[in-house]
Amino acid sequence: MKISTRGRYALRMMVELARTQGDGYVSLTDIATKQGISKKYLEQIIPLLSRENYLQTARGLKGGYRLSRTPAEYKVGEVLRLTEGSLAPVTCVCPDASCFCDKCNECPTYPLWKKLSRIVSDYLDSVTLEDLVENRIELDSMDDAKL
């Protein structure tokens, strides 16, 4: 599984909006500048987030974007699933029924992929935008080791 630029940028945009949650609406230009992301690229992500009611939008001079909920109510997993689709490491364990392989019952690696998928989802669903803003994700010594 590899998270695409769209998923990473959407998450960075959401974190930026979480940081400025009490400041009203934030312009896309400000978000792009602060995050070092192309405004044009963010314009492609906005419809995904707006359609699912993750963002509130306002037009005009003081317009822009803000979160529809508090930062604590957004799980990283939900943002990434919205922008990426399935986070499954292999197609046979993706939640969409059409992805299932006809060999699941006899495949010796299926339990491995299923458990990995569950661990990744559980972890991403345990982290909120608030956790990212408050820098609550701690790295351990293994995180810096080269694999």
Tens digits of per-residue pLDDT, 44-74? 999 999 999 999 999 988 889 999 999 999 9
Q: How confident is the model at residue 19 (pLDDT cuts 50, 70, 90)?
A: very high
Tell me the pLDDT tens digit for each residue of 83-121. Answer: 998 888 887 877 765 566 677 778 898 889 889 999 999
How far apart (Å, rounded) are the C-alpha atoms in residues 9 and 57? Answer: 18
Report helix, strand or coil for 60: coil
Short-list 92, 91, 90, 80, CA closest to 121: 80
pLDDT (0 to 100) of residue 54: 96
pLDDT (0 to 100) of residue 100: 62
**H or E stretch at 100:** none
Q: Find the angle CA(82)-CA(70)-CA(30) to the nearest 5 degrees.
A: 75
For the chain, the domains span 5-67, 74-131
pTM: 0.86
CATH of 5-67, one of 1.20.5.50, 3.40.109.10, 1.10.10.10, 3.30.565.10: 1.10.10.10
Contact 26, 64 (CB under 8 A): yes
DSSP state, 20? Answer: T
Q: How confident is the model at residue 16 (pLDDT cuts 50, 70, 90)?
A: very high
pLDDT (0 to 100) of residue 146: 58
Phi, psi of 122 (to 5 degrees): -60, -40
